Structures are given as structure tokens and as C-alpha cells.
Structure 1
Amino acid sequence: MAESTTGMRKPVFAKVDQLRPGTSGHTLTLKVVSSKMVLQKGRSDGPQMRQMRIAECLVGDETGMIVFTARNEQVDLLKPGATVILRNAKIDMFKGSMRLAVDKWGRVEVTEPADFTVKEDNNMSLVEYELVNVVEE
């Protein structure tokens, strides 16, 4: 069997202003601006009771901000003022606006404080998108 010489790829870090609807596989370094719990309820599946938690966190970098939907354990990591690295993040659409999310295929990690200032006047989640079907004749 031939040995492969290709290693793991270096991640290409994206910026908030480069995010577009329906895209995935993003790696970003972001600061958490705010966090608000939107759903917290107990769930019984099996022997232990588990909490289901969802928080909407405003995160950003020097190019803009976006709403990140944090689920369960992710809620504990995204505290205001923290700097996080999101790996394999995707864009979900909610009522015509973009939301950043990390599912089971991605990862959220707290990292060293970043030295950039969040550009708070460019909130990408406030841009409303409309799906348009193009019919070719």
C-alpha cells in the first residue's frame, strides 16, 4: 500500500463580511459581543434528564458582526468578551437573515483574547435575503 504524503490542510480563516447564505465549512476567529438565552427546557430521553439550551450570541470581527446560534454545551463557551474559534461553521437562514451555527461536524473552542475591535456597525444578520427562482427559457 502506497504511503500518502499529504497531511492535514491548514485552515483558511474567513471574515464575517465574506459569509454568504447557504455556505458552510467556515473557520473564523470571533469575539463574543453579547449572549441571550432564547430556549431552556428539560428533556427526558433515557435515564438522565438533560437540558436543551439555545442562545443567540452576537459575535464579530474587525469586518462585521453576525448572530451565532449556540446549542447546549456551546452556550457555556460563548460568554460576552470571550474570543472563540469556530471550525466548520455553516450559515443557516432564519426568517430571511443569516445565522452562524456549528453542528456536530464542527467545533467551538475558546482561545486567547484577540487584538481586533469588533466592527459593530456592520451586522450581517440584519441584511434580509429573499430566495428567487430563476426560470431559464
Structure 2
Amino acid sequence: TNEVIFHSIADLTVARLATKHNSRNSGNSGSISTLQQTSNPQFSLCIFHSTKSLLQMAESKSAMRKPVFTKVDQLRPGTSGHNLTAKVVSSNMVLQKGRPDGPQVRQMRIAECVVGDETGTIVFTARNDQVDLMKPDATVILRNAKIDMFKGSMRLAVDKWGRVEVTEPASFTVKEDNNLSLVEYELVNVVEE
């Protein structure tokens, strides 16, 4: 039989590589035959007949999850990982460094855009290429957005780990009388006695 034994997660990669050749040549379906506790309680000993089961386990872990979309009124200071669908209410360029005819790498543009949905609005800080996407009345999807604090107020931002996409116009009407960026927060130290 083509058996692979590994004692830790670090050995998983080694086991995968070591049995890649063997699993191609075997017709086994690949299943865990034994799970035993070793003398070291931190590790478990697993015996695999082929890497097919290893690969199936890895593939099931890597399956992409559907994004969970958040509404503007659910945003809180210091949070991240938000996915939102919002309409751009307004866009105002606040900083443009570098020459427009110069190299793209040296240019820096920042715009403050008011974006919102049917629950409220918030100021979104658009940087560089994001500025071009944030046109008034456009509907955008903000993926992996985070809340930054600026002078005690919330600002929505998407960094290099997130994404801004223009999408089809949304059917909702923006609730402009609930601007979360107008709420001022104060950091308070709490001493427990």
C-alpha cells in the first residue's frame, strides 16, 4: 500500500509532495485508515493510503465563501472586512500630488466621497484609481472595506486588500439624513476596580 505518515501540520506539505508520485500510480480511493494519539499530545498520527483524501480535504477548505453584505447603519468604529453595495452621492477631490502628465507611480489623489444605501450615508476616502470610479450617482460594490477614524469621525476606506467595483444601478434610494460620519466619537479609558 502507499502509506503516508505525518505527525504535524508542517509534515502535511511534505507528505503531499512525497506521495504525489505514489498516488498517481495507485488506484486507491484514499481514506484515513487510522487516527492515533502519539506520545506527544500536541501531534496526532494519521495514516493515509494515498494523497487523494489529502487533496480532497485541501480542496474543501479552499472553497470560496459567499460574501456577506453589510448595510451602512451597521458600520462601527475600528471594524473591517465589510462588503457593501452603495450609491455615490457626491465626490470631492481633496488632494492631488504630482503632475497629471507625469508618471502614474508618482501621482497621488485622494477624494472624499459620500456614499450610502437605504439605511444611511458615510464618507468614503477614495485613493488613486478609486477616485475615477467614484462618480456621483454611480453604484459601487466595496469589498473588504474598513472603518478608519479621522478627527473622531468614521471614514470608510478600501486598501490594497480590498476592491472597488462599479456595478449596475441599484434600485434603492439613499437615506441622506443619517450621515454616520457626522457622529463624533471619543476614546474613553475605562478603569476597572
Q: TM-score range by the shorter chain?
A: over 0.9
Identify unmatched segments of 5+ residues in structure 1.
none
1:48 to 80, 92, 103: 103
2:150 pairs with 1:94: yes
Higher helix share: 2
What is the alpha-carbon distance in structure 2 between the residues aligned to residue 8 and residue 131 of structure 1?
37
> CA offset at residue 74 of structure 1?
0.1
TM-score by length of 2: 0.67
1:5 to 35, 52, 60: 60
Q: The residue matched to 1:5 in structure 2 has which SS?
A: helix
What is the alpha-carbon distance in structure 1 between the residues aligned to residue 107 and residue 137 of structure 2?
25
Identify unmatched segments of 5+ residues in structure 2.
1-50
Structure with more contact order per residue of length (Cα contacts < 8 Å, sep ≥ 6): 1
2:174 to 112, 115, 118: 118
Identity, in percent, stands at 84
Match of 1:16 in 2: 72
What is the alpha-carbon distance in structure 2 between the residues aligned to residue 42 and residue 134 of structure 1?
45
- Alpha-carbon RMSD across the aligned residues, in angstroms, is 1.4
Aligned residues: 134
Higher strand share: 1
Match of 2:165 in 1: 109
The higher radius of gyration belongs to: 2
Opposite residue 102 of structure 1, the aligned amino acid is: V
Regions of 4+ moved over 4 Å: none
Match of 1:34 in 2: 90
What is the alpha-carbon distance in structure 2 between the residues aligned to residue 17 and residue 28 of structure 1?
11
